[in-house]
Amino acid sequence: MASSPGSSAASGSPCVLLLSGGLDSYTAGAIARAEGFLLHALTVRYGQRHAQEIEAARAVATALGVVRHIEIDVDLSAFGGSSLTTDAPVPKDRPIDSGRGGPSGPPEIPSTYVPARNTVFLSLALGWAEVLGAHDIVIGVNALDYSGYPDCRPEYIEAFERLAALATARGVHGERFRIHAPLQHLTKAEIIGQGLALGLDYGLTHSCYDPQPDGPCGRCDSCTLRAAGFAQAGTADPAARARA
CA–CA gap between residue 238 and residue 33 (Å, rounded): 22
- Homologous superfamily (CATH) of 14-243 is HUPs (3.40.50.620)
Closest to 179 in 3D by CA, of 200, 157, 156: 157
Q: What is the pLDDT of residues 41-66, one digit of tens each?
A: 999 999 999 889 999 999 999 999 99
Q: What is the pLDDT of residues 205-227, one digit of tens each?
A: 999 999 998 899 999 999 999 99
Beta carbons within 8 Å of 84's beta carbon, 6+ residues apart? 48, 49, 50, 90, 112, 114, 209
CA–CA gap between residue 8 and residue 188 (Å, rounded): 25
Domain boundaries, the chain: 14-243
What pLDDT does 1 receive?
38
CA–CA gap between residue 173 and residue 31 (Å, rounded): 29
Q: What is the pLDDT of residues 155-182, one digit of tens each?
A: 999 999 999 999 999 999 999 999 999 9
Q: Name the CA dihedral angle for 34, 35, 38, 43, rounded to a multiple of 10 degrees.
A: -70
**Average pLDDT for 120-125:** 98
